[in-house]
Every structure is written in structure tokens, then in C-alpha cells.
Homo-oligomer: A and B are copies of this chain.
Amino acid sequence: MTDLAADASPTTDTAPPAPVLVVIDRARAGARGDGPGWHLADAAEPTVNVVDLGVTRGDGIFEAFGVVDGAVQALEPHLNRLARSAALLDLPVLDLDLIREAVLASAAAHAPVPFALTKLIVTRGLEGVPDSEPTAWARTEVFEDHAVERRDGIRVVALDRGYRHDVATTSPWLLQGAKTLSYAVNKSVLREAARRGADDVLFVSSDGYALEGPSASLVARFGDRFVTPRTDQGILEGTTQAAVFDALADLGHETAYELLPLTRVHEADALWLLSSGRQIAPVSDLDGRSFAIDHELTTTLVEALWARRT
């Protein structure tokens, strides 16, 4: 009977563990209320109102935390970046202590897996409700390892981001450099990449500078020197890129933040895209040009990334 029951539900053993949803009741600093300020919720049930500004206007911010063997990585850099995004969007000052607790609680409540991702979202709250409190939650789910991409590399195309590289300085209301929920373009460019037979995208400013991927930072190797685009160009400070720069410095390599014209990226000796989920992906092809994959260095770096316990 036991065997038959197992046969009748063949997916039971292979179904991934359920995602864990923690709803944050008081994301705003100084908000008062009873209880711990967050609670576990059923991830399968709807929890967002149709007038939440997160959905009606993409008016909110997010962070995605890599979780390796249960350890939430780059917790403080992600929280600091969240606070910077909140400031760029004129959101209320956030209670980072409570948000940190909620992120850790969400990751801790998840079944043990080698790789998970905790996504934290904070929206401006309800449209048409004066002084609405922000809506916020942290949700953890299994993240598939990307061993094939790490071995074979990914094919990337450069696509125009439409903005000049200095737009964050000249026109801060365009919110470049904030990690907002208005990411329709970040998804659209992946569909354009797929139409061109590529896996991912490198955004380029309208005046020709390499910026970042839609959800990753670029690192280019020129000899013994590793360069990432300067973050005053309306792009995000990469938490994984920062960890990789630390690892490269430990290995005795030189690292630098620079303006990188796309033409110069095309001449690099090697390229990687770095992000909290996939962590590190060597680029095998950019715009039809082949790039060598340094398997040894990529392995060394991914082991350094995975070894992080904070």
C-alpha cells in the first residue's frame, strides 16, 4: 500500500520545498504596533491589494538576497542599498532592523537547500490612501544552481538603455540607480536577447558606455586588471561584484571602477556577469564575439562567493 500510494503521487518526492512568505507589518521606521512587526503568511494565498502602488505603478523597491546553505549573503550591503533606493524614491525611512529580522526569518523558515533566494519587496502602500504605510514582505524560495552556465558561459547582447551615462546626475527623477519594481524593461530586454539567440543583456548608455545587465553587474578582465563600470552612471552597486572584487584583491589582482565604452568591453580578455542568484556567469559571447572562459578563476571565485556566511 505504501508503495502504491507513492506511485500514485510520483511528484511528491521531487516537488521543491514550499516557498516561505514573511509579511512585514511595520516597514517604516518609527511605526508603532503590537507584536514582532512581521508574521508568516501562506505564500499561495493573495496578500496584495489591487490598489497597492507596487502593482498599479511599479512604485516600490526590492532586493534579492542569495542564500547558500541557509546563510543569507551580503545582508548589510543589500540593506544599505535598499535604504538608498528608498531615499531615491522619497519613500519613508525604513526600519532596517525589523526588515533584517524578517529577511533572516524568511530564510531560516525555509527547508534546508543548497541554494535559495530571498526577495524583499517594499512598496509605497495603497493608492488613494493618504499616509498609507508601505507594504512589505520577504519571500524565500529554492534557487536552481546554474552549473551549466558556469561551465559553458552565457551569450550576451549589448542593448541600448536609452539614457546617457550621466542621466542619474542630470535627471535624478528618472530613478536610475534605484532598484525599483518598475522593471518591465529589464524583462523586455531578455525577450529581445532570446530573439537574437542570446541568454542575457548588457545595457549600454545612449552615448556608448557599458552599464550593467538587467539583473547583474559586469566585470571585465584586461590582463591582470579587473574593471567594473563606475556606479555614478545610474547603475546599481553590485553586492556580488563587491564580493568578487574582495576575492580578486585577496588573489593579488588589481580592481577598478571606470567608465567603460562598449568598444573597450569588446576588447576585454574575459567577461563575467555577477548577481545574487546566479552568483557568477562567465560570458562566452558578446555581440557575436567569442570570449575565453577562465574555468580555474571562475571556480576559485564561485567558491569564494559560496563560502560567504554573511
Q: Which listed residue, B89, B184, B189, touches A182 by the CB 8 Å rule?
A: B184
Complex CA gap A187/B56 in Å reads: 11
Which residues of B are found within 8 Å of A174, using beta-carbon distances? 160-162, 185, 188
Q: Is A43 an interface residue (CB 8 A)?
A: yes
- Across the two chains, which residue of chain B brings its CB closest to A173? B192
Closest to A171 in B: B160
Rounded to whole angstroms, the CA-CA distance of A206 and B160 in the bound complex is: 15
Q: How far is the CA of A60 from the CA of B183 in the complex (A)?
A: 10
Taking a contact as CB atoms closer than 8 A, the residue among B123, B171, B187 that contacts A57 in the complex is B187
- Determine whether A51 belongs to the interface, using a CB cutoff of 8 Å to chain B: yes
Give the contacting residue for A58; candidates B50, B128, B184; CB below 8 A. Answer: B184
Q: Can you list, as one digit per residue, whether each of A53-87 has a CB less than 8 Å from chain B (1) or not (0)?
A: 11111111010000000000000000000000000
Inter-chain contact A184/B55, CB cutoff 8 Å:
no
By beta carbon, the residue of chain B nearest A193 is: B173
| A113 on the B face (CB < 8 A) | no
Contact of A46 with B by CB under 8 A = yes
Q: B184 near A175 (CB under 8 angstroms)?
A: yes
A9 to B176, CA, bound (A): 47
Given contacts A50-B137, A173-B159, A188-B174, contact A57 B181 (CB under 8 A): yes
CB of A38, distance to nearest CB on chain B (Å): 14
CB contacts (< 8 Å) of A51 on chain B: these are 43, 139
Given the interface pairs A49-B46, A58-B181, A123-B55, the reply to whether A188 lies near B163 with Cβ below 8 Å is no
- Do the beta carbons of A187 and B47 come within 8 Å of each other? no
Q: Chain B residues with Cβ under 8 A from A121's Cβ?
A: 50, 55-56
Check A186 for interface membership: any CB of B closer than 8 A: yes
| Minimum CB distance partner of A128 in chain B | B141
**Min C-beta distance of A162 to chain B, whole Å:** 5
Q: Which residues of B contact A230 (CB under 8 A)?
A: none
A58 near B173 (CB under 8 angstroms)? no
Is A21 engaged at the interface, CB distance under 8 Å to the other chain?
Answer: yes
Interface string of A13-50 (1 = CB under 8 A from B): 00000000100000000000000000000011111111
Give per-residue flags for A172-207: 1 if the beta carbon is below 8 A from chain B beta carbons, else 0. Answer: 011110101111111111011000000000000010
If A51-B139, A53-B187, A56-B119 are given as contacts, then 18 extra A-B residue pairs at C-beta distance below 8 Å, sorted by A number, are: A43-B50, A46-B46, A46-B48, A48-B48, A54-B55, A56-B62, A56-B183, A57-B58, A57-B186, A58-B180, A59-B187, A89-B184, A160-B174, A162-B162, A178-B184, A180-B182, A182-B185, A206-B206
25 A-B pairs within 8 Å (CB atoms) are namely A46-B48, A47-B48, A50-B121, A50-B137, A52-B55, A54-B55, A55-B60, A55-B181, A57-B181, A57-B183, A58-B58, A58-B180, A58-B183, A58-B184, A90-B188, A160-B167, A161-B174, A162-B162, A162-B163, A162-B167, A162-B171, A162-B174, A173-B192, A175-B184, A180-B182
